[in-house]
Structure 1
Amino acid sequence: MDRFAGKVAVVTGGAHGIGRATALRLGAEGAAVVVADVDLPAAEEVVGELGASAMAVAGDVTSRESVEAAIAAAVERFGRLDVLAHVAGHNLANREAVEPGDGQWVRQYDFTFVGAVRCIEAALPHLVESGAGAVVLVGSISGVVALGTNPYAAAKAGLISLVSNLAAEHGPTGVRFNVVAPATIATRAFDNRPEALEELKAIYPLRRVGRPEDVAAAVAFLASEDAGWITGITLPVEGGLTTGPGHLIG
């Protein structure tokens, strides 16, 4: 498929895991891809796989200056911007309990929620100019159902409300906003505990955890003209987790 032929996409957090898979998927479908990540050497490795129609930029979503510079570099190199796939974001605490004080909440909210806002604000004028821009945020199923890790879940839930409001506000410009909400995905976060992935398979009706490519496929769909009349939605990519207690069946 060449759904993104002639299009330019920025993928934040594009050096690893879901971001890497998303960058490769968009590139395979014809997009010129800008891989933005704090891990610039790893981003450059992804660009090596993508070829000449890609570039790597340093991108720290906690810094407005860094985000604006990354978007500006993308537009300067390719002349336009059509897709923002915002993948950067992970659980900073990896704890279920709320620790005393504001620190954990502030760090997670700034990274996950405000980081997305920074990227959208920097990209939006260029997406409007393209005439049919698309923003896809990678949220989490933790923002949809109660699965613990409160600061992370709350920040991810905020993305759902953000996208709903932005979709209504900017719909007349032609820019679409959507969220993908993955459940357990086999990323480097599980490199040192593969047994956890094996145990988690049992709670999913499809009897496997997700792959980064599963999420990348959903991002590519929502960013493409195949989803040209879809905006303001949250698409769960969760192997049937929210259908019920799959571990009790079969």
Structure 2
Amino acid sequence: MPRTERRFDGYAVLITGAARGIGAATALRFAREGAQVAVTDLDPEAPERTAAEIREQGGAARAFTCDVGSRESVEAAVASAAEAFGRLDVLVNNAYACSPDATRFEDEPDDVWARDLDITLTGAYRCSRAALPHLVASGRGAIVSIGSVNGLQDYGNHAYSAAKAGLVSLTRTLAGHAGPRGVRVNLVAPGTVRTPAWSNRGADVDVVRDLYPLGRVGEPEDVAAAVAFLASRDAAWITGVTLPVDGGLTSVNMGFRHAVR
């Protein structure tokens, strides 16, 4: 694999939703820094592609099926990863569901609301619950969840945004519980990132770049770098925080600046 700092030699890392996009980039980042990576996803074949790419680059990875909507599936994936690697040091909660809003709020169906919250928020809860004993045993455990600027400000998507906001709260409360047990819990909140979620719906992600003070949308590797930092000993005295990784979107109102020029 390309030479880079190896902060995770001897670590085992489990990542949900790691078949593509931010999850795959994060898996590759951890592997480049020396970690053994459990690549998990709902699709039984998709995570193997990411794991194979890691192995082709000289890293160590195993692929596991994990449906974060199922307690049994989550517990099986965590147990399999811990058995395969002999330990588990880091959990990255990346799996999510994001459904389009109904035209009118009052027309939102219950099942859409329930699915987005169950996969995005309760899925992270299930994974954290299953992984926590292993993370405690490691003596250097860390949980990093992938939130969103949608959980901080209004960018649409009622259910998805509510779920991401819930992750911010879960990060704080779990940090308070897990800190005395030696486990840190943090969250990154990405802005617009160039992932298959955009290309699959035929959208041009770059149409929003002028809203970003840094003049571009994010790349999956931008988020992966922040996740690796928060999981590493470089962040040994950081827990319970939400770190925006958003090119300045939530700090600077570029739309207003353009309007008043």
State the TM-score, normalized to the length of structure 2: 0.91
What's 2:159 paired with?
151
Deviation at residue 95 of structure 1 after TM alignment:
5.2
**For each residue in 1:4-41, what CA deviation from the matched residue of structure 2 results, as whole angstroms up to 9, or x when unmatched?**
00000001001110000000000000000000001232
Which residue of 2 is the match for residue 24 of structure 1? 28
Superposed, which structure 2 residues align to 1:188-227 within 5 Å?
A: 188-192=196-200, 196-227=204-235
CA distance in 2, matches of 1:48, 1:181: 28
Paired-residue identity, % = 52
- Which residue number corresponds to residue 122 of structure 1? 130
CA 73–242 in structure 1, closer or farther in 2 if over 3 Å, else same: same
Aligned match for 1:169, one of 160, 163, 177:
177
Unaligned runs of 5+ in 1: none
**Residues 96 and 149 in structure 1, CA contact (< 8 A), matched pair in contact too:** no
RMSD over aligned Cα, in angstroms? Answer: 1.6
Q: Distance between the aligned counterparts of 2:165 and 2:10, measured in 1? A: 33
Partner of 1:78: 85
SS at match of 2:97: coil
In 1, Cα distance between equivalents of 2:240 and 2:222: 21
Gap change, CA 1:37 and 1:193, over 3 Å in 2: closer
Tell me which residue corresponds to 1:91. Answer: 98
Which of the numbers 62, 74, 78 marks the counterpart of 1:67?
74
Q: Deviations over 1:183-226 (max 9, x none)?
A: 10111112156653221111111111100000000000000000
User: Is the alpha carbon distance of 1:68 and 1:168 closer, same or farther for their aligned partners in structure 2, counting shifts above 3 Å?
Assistant: same
Counterpart of 1:70, as a letter, is: A
Query: CA distance change for structure 1 residues 232 and 166 in 2, over 3 Å: closer, same or farther?
Result: same
Q: Partner of 2:9 in structure 1? A: 5
Q: How many residues align?
A: 250
Output the CA distance in 2 between the equivalents of 1:217 and 1:95.
Answer: 35
Identify the residue that residue 58 of structure 1 maps to in structure 2: 65
Tell me the equivalent position of 1:112. 120
Show structure 1 runs of 4+ deviating over 6 A. none
Q: Distance in 2 between matches of 1:135 and 1:63?
A: 19
SS in 2 for 1:179: strand
Pick the aligned partner of 2:141 from 111, 129, 133: 133
C-alpha distance in structure 1 between counterparts of 2:148 and 2:206, whole Å: 20
Unaligned runs of 5+ in 2: none
1:241 equivalent in alignment to 2:249? yes
Q: Which amino acid aligns with 2:244?
A: P
SS state of the match for residue 14, structure 2?
A: strand
